[in-house]
Amino acid sequence: MNQIIELTKSLIQFQSVHSRPEEIKNCAAFIEIYLKRFDIDFQGHDFGGTPSILVSSSSRNPQILLMSHFDVVEGSEELFAKNLSLKHNLPPIRICY
């Protein structure tokens, strides 16, 4: 559970809003690095300059489909977790890699 909390803390630091396309790309790069550290298969895609990431099971008939997005709506600066001690750093990982 702590890993999920730490990952969430890292992700909410990205101001991945429409007016900041570079921050959306930075968030995508962060997610890809995180997936690589866990040896999780994924495919990065670009649709009109906007990144997306497809993470799939090796099963040809998965039982569940989860979808998400990592862009967010515009908001004031204080809504983003800039006051956290680590900015865009991967959380500690206890799994051997």
**The pLDDT value given to residue 82:** 58
pTM of the predicted model, to two decimals?
A: 0.73
CA distance 14 to 70: 9
pLDDT number for residue 89: 54
The overall average pLDDT reported for the chain is 80
pLDDT in tens, 40-53: 889 999 999 899 99
pLDDT at 87 over 60: no
CB neighbour burial string for 58-97, b if at least 16 within 10 angstroms, e if fewer: eeeeeeeeeeeeebbeeeeeeebeeeeeeeeeebeeeeee
